[in-house]
């Protein structure tokens, strides 16, 4: 019986990702707390590819209030909804993204596995990584 993780590992290439590599990189790394809201805001306004890749969600992103007190949380929720609107779970996309990084030697096996383990250990009720074996 194949698990979802087995299916993810069996796939290969950047066509696994919903968006281009550069857009996926920023959405996923921001979602993983690797960038500040201000850095993400700068990226949004300096990335013309967003308009063609996000289409409907582009207006939501450029009209987002990056200065609000709860911007970090609301921006993560917006990113999660962007993926949901495309019938994709952000959690699965993050795992695809990690597998691509591991198979292209951007992340070594240990680093990639540490990042996968961290996803499972966070136990955040908003995220469902139950498809990753423990």
One digit per residue, the tens of pLDDT, for the chain of length 134 reads 556 555 655 554 445 788 888 899 999 989 888 889 999 999 999 999 999 999 889 999 999 999 999 999 999 999 999 999 988 888 888 888 888 888 888 888 888 888 877 776 665 555 566 666 55
Would you state the pLDDT for residue 116?
78
Would you state the pLDDT for residue 82?
93
Q: How far lies 29's CA from each of 32, 33, 93, in Å?
A: 5, 6, 11
Would you state the pLDDT for residue 55?
82
Provide the whole-model pTM. Answer: 0.76
Query: In 3D, which of 8, 15, 41, 14 has the Cα closest to residue 26?
Result: 41
């Amino acid at each position: 019986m194949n698990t979802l993780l087995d299916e993810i590992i069996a796939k290969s290439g950047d066509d696994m990702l919903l968006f281009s590599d550069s857009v996926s990189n920023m959405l996923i790394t921001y979602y993983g707390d690797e960038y500040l809201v201000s850095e993400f805001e700068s990226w949004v306004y300096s990335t013309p590819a967003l308009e063609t890749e996000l289409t409907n969600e582009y207006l939501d992103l450029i009209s987002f209030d990056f200065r609000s007190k709860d911007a970090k949380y609301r921006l993560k929720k917006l990113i999660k909804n962007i993926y949901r609107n495309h019938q994709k779970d952000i959690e699965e996309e993050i795992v695809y993204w990690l597998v691509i990084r591991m198979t292209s030697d951007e992340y070594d096996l240990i680093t990639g596995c540490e990042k996968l383990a961290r996803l499972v250990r966070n136990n955040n009720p908003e995220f469902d990584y139950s498809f990753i074996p423990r």
